[in-house]
Amino acid sequence: MKKLAVLCLCVLFTLTANSQCDTMILGKWKVISVKTSELYFNLKTDSSFIESDAIKNYPDTNRQMIIELNKMSWGNIRFEFKKGNQLTMQFMEGVVDDNMKFCFNDNKKLISITSKNSLGEDKTDDWSAYMKEGQLHMTIQFDPEDDESKIQFVFERYEN
């Protein structure tokens, strides 16, 4: 009976620990690299390429322009994870959403982002996320049945 009680306590503590929100990502983060099904760029190393399967979709003259447009679009994303699980997200200069909540769980390699939909209701999205070498890696998949809808981001901390 004692062994059963100890086992139950261990399971309870494990479940509780896995359901907590980690604070290791508190602070300001900016995008340093983005990988989609069609392209990759790294703002820190100034490297970029279009995937070989996608290269046929873009004439030679447009390839660099496509990469630069994506750098401008995705490269300005900023996250600020604050105490109390508050999240401010900047999509581009002047476009900010500061009415969001987050819960990051490094054990589960998951971040949950809660925001208001167009009806004012809370909507929570779960994205793959983990820390590696001081960087935050996050994968967003807009359509779970379509791997081409997946975008992989790498963020690094920054100061103002």
Tens of pLDDT along 7-44?
333 333 433 344 589 999 999 999 999 999 888 999 99
d(CA 147, CA 125): 17
- Identify the CATH assignment for 22-157 out of 1.10.10.10, 3.30.56.10, 2.40.128.270, 3.10.20.440: 2.40.128.270
Q: Which residues contact 67 (CB under 8 A, 6 or more apart)?
A: 39, 41, 48, 50
How many angstroms from the chain centroid is the CA of residue 146? 18
Q: Which residues, in sequence order, are bridge partners of residue 123?
A: 115
pLDDT in tens, 73-96: 888 899 999 999 999 999 877 778
Characterise 27 by phi-psi region: left (phi > 0), alpha (psi -120 to 50), beta (else): left
Q: What percent of the chain has pLDDT over 70?
A: 88
